[in-house]
Chain A
């Protein structure tokens, strides 16, 4: 049991920065450049670990604890989802709530660490992040409810594992869940069109600004944490959309990781093709995602599932 958990977590840790690298490469490709190497995030993390930290005098222990807390929360959440051929090592009834709660914990600590610095700059980012996450959380839960209704189970890994024919039965609802969950994915990971991970301008930062004051291995943890978050939520997304738990383990692994690479590439494509939305349009985007999920719910209720 312990071995399974450890191997699960280590796979997540090893492979997650690769996703960030793929996104970077895709964006570079669309911009007509070669871009940084695929393993660049690994080098970044390694570099950051070797650097020293600088702490502002206004901060307290929260500031130092936050990166570790958020990273570990995200890592713990990864044990609830299946990765390709690997079953989730620790499923239990109602683990969805814990899943969402862990992300809330991570977010909470990031926000109060930002507030801890005493700078209005970070406070602004914190308030934005809090607002958007509220809306995204609703959509996330609505999606979970739909999935629970569809699969009649309340365990995360079994909710998203079905046989191959479920698209035929639940196609339209799944489509809507997929679209709205994709929007939640973009919001949670601070991707365009919700937030621009490359910008450092006051007007446009949400996530970046909260972590502006971290340095050294704190920053490394944060970078790593965002990579793991991307992997976990992306895995969830892929599992929702592609029902493949009837196939053999090898096939599942191949399809899963192939889909993850595709997902990373599509995020890169979205980032290259769109600009970030104006701040007051983001709640509207999330409201739209909410309405989509709502319609999905209505469809399921009508069809009497």
Chain B
């Protein structure tokens, strides 16, 4: 029961982010989501492996990455997002639809570990969908990065199904990759900011055929 509560508490910030337009709030909501996410390994397979994963997730995703993102937007004077591609209301509805699709898809698959939870795979899918929606529908670079990170959160949930079967090394490698990805993204966002005066990717439309 705690597991399912935690899963819902992970989807909840995702939905709120879809409708939100303040960059600072979005980063904080992501940190909250990652915090709840880090407790899930301990709820599924308590043990040393899970503990290490939880601690690593907390350090990276709750503290370091939001700090990096806040650093990246430090120079941006406007802390608000512009209108997303299809407007906030439609984005929310589309998000709801995608969550429905996610639940539909996962009901067609045969789940390997039914005793963990019926809800794990659908919620993992829906978080990936929410992250993807965020990535493609928003214009500010930071929000796109957060969308990518939310997708990674969802993928992490999937990885939890295999917690004891994957070598710890590989999972650490994955986390490290994501960390470096955010680092590089943050640096490039800074370049975008310096060059164009705002961290919005609306200006990035010169290269086309």
| Touch between chains A and B, by CB atoms below 8 Å | yes
Number of interchain pairs (Cβ within 8 Å): 72
A303 at interface by CB-CB < 8 Å = yes
Task: Find residues 83-133 in chain B having any chain A CB closer than 8 Å to their own CB.
Answer: 88-89, 92-93, 95-96, 99-100, 103, 106-107, 118-119, 122, 126
B11 at interface by CB-CB < 8 Å = yes
- A-contacting 9-mer, from B12-20, B44-52, B71-79, B178-186: B12-20
B15 & A302 in contact (Cβ 8 Å cutoff): no
A179 at interface by CB-CB < 8 Å = yes
Task: Find residues 245-299 in chain A having any chain B CB closer than 8 Å to their own CB.
Answer: 281, 283-285, 287-288, 290-292, 294-295, 298-299
A168 at interface by CB-CB < 8 Å = yes
B88 & A284 in contact (Cβ 8 Å cutoff): yes
B4 at interface by CB-CB < 8 Å = yes
B103 & A302 in contact (Cβ 8 Å cutoff): yes
Chain A residues, Cβ within 8 Å of B96:
290-291, 294-295
Please report the C-alpha to C-alpha distance between residue A36 and residue B160 in the assembled complex, in whole angstroms. 55
B8 at interface by CB-CB < 8 Å = yes
Q: Which interface residue of A167, A283, A291, A304 has the most chain B CB atoms within 10 A?
A: A291
Please report the C-alpha to C-alpha distance between residue A302 and residue B114 in the assembled complex, in whole angstroms. 12
Chain B residues, Cβ within 8 Å of A176:
8, 12
B5 at interface by CB-CB < 8 Å = yes
Which of the residues A172, A173, A179, A298 comes within 8 Å of B99, measured between beta carbons? Answer: A298
A169 at interface by CB-CB < 8 Å = yes
Q: Mark interface residues in B7-42 (1 if CB within 8 Å of A CB, else 0).
A: 111011001101100000000000000000000000
B92 & A288 in contact (Cβ 8 Å cutoff): yes
Which of the residues A172, A288, A302 comes within 8 Å of B16, measured between beta carbons? Answer: A288
A171 at interface by CB-CB < 8 Å = yes
Chain A residues, Cβ within 8 Å of B12:
176, 179, 292
Please report the C-alpha to C-alpha distance between residue A172 and residue B118 in the assembled complex, in whole angstroms. 12
Known contacts: A284-B92, A295-B15. The answer to whether A303 contacts B5 by CB under 8 A is no
A28 at interface by CB-CB < 8 Å = no
Please report the C-alpha to C-alpha distance between residue A171 and residue B7 in the assembled complex, in whole angstroms. 11
Chain A residues, Cβ within 8 Å of B126:
295
Please report the C-alpha to C-alpha distance between residue A183 and residue B8 in the assembled complex, in whole angstroms. 18
Q: Mark interface residues in A136-175 (1 if CB within 8 Å of B CB, else 0).
A: 0000000000000000000000000000000111011101
A65 at interface by CB-CB < 8 Å = no
Q: Which residue of chain A has the shortest Cβ distance to B7 in the bound complex?
A: A172
B15 & A288 in contact (Cβ 8 Å cutoff): yes
A301 at interface by CB-CB < 8 Å = yes
B1 at interface by CB-CB < 8 Å = yes
Please report the C-alpha to C-alpha distance between residue A119 and residue B19 in the assembled complex, in whole angstroms. 35
A288 & B19 in contact (Cβ 8 Å cutoff): yes
B99 & A171 in contact (Cβ 8 Å cutoff): no
Q: Which residue of chain B has the shortest Cβ distance to A165 in the bound complex?
A: B1
Chain A residues, Cβ within 8 Å of B11:
295
Min Cβ gap A182→B in Å is 13
Known contacts: A284-B89, A292-B12. The answer to whether A302 contacts B122 by CB under 8 A is yes
Known contacts: A284-B88, A302-B103, A303-B119. The answer to whether A172 contacts B5 by CB under 8 A is yes
Which of the residues A168, A285, A287, A303 comes within 8 Å of B118, measured between beta carbons? Answer: A303
Please report the C-alpha to C-alpha distance between residue A128 and residue B103 in the assembled complex, in whole angstroms. 35
Please report the C-alpha to C-alpha distance between residue A179 and residue B103 in the assembled complex, in whole angstroms. 21
B89 & A172 in contact (Cβ 8 Å cutoff): no
Please report the C-alpha to C-alpha distance between residue A70 and residue B11 in the assembled complex, in whole angstroms. 38
Which of the residues B5, B92, B118 comes within 8 Å of A291, measured between beta carbons? Answer: B92
Please report the C-alpha to C-alpha distance between residue A290 and residue B96 in the assembled complex, in whole angstroms. 9
B16 & A298 in contact (Cβ 8 Å cutoff): no
Min Cβ gap B4→A in Å is 5
A positions within 8 Å CB-CB of B: 167-169, 171-173, 175-176, 179, 281, 283-285, 287-288, 290-292, 294-295, 298-299, 301-304
Known A172-B7, A175-B5, A295-B11; further 16 A-B contacts with Cβ < 8 A: A172-B8, A175-B9, A281-B88, A284-B89, A287-B93, A291-B15, A291-B96, A294-B96, A294-B99, A295-B8, A295-B15, A295-B99, A299-B119, A301-B103, A302-B107, A302-B122
Between-chain CB contacts (< 8 Å), 29 pairs: A171-B5, A172-B4, A172-B8, A175-B9, A284-B19, A284-B89, A284-B92, A285-B19, A287-B89, A287-B93, A288-B19, A290-B93, A291-B15, A291-B96, A294-B96, A295-B11, A295-B15, A295-B96, A295-B126, A298-B100, A298-B103, A299-B4, A302-B103, A302-B106, A302-B107, A302-B118, A302-B122, A303-B119, A304-B118
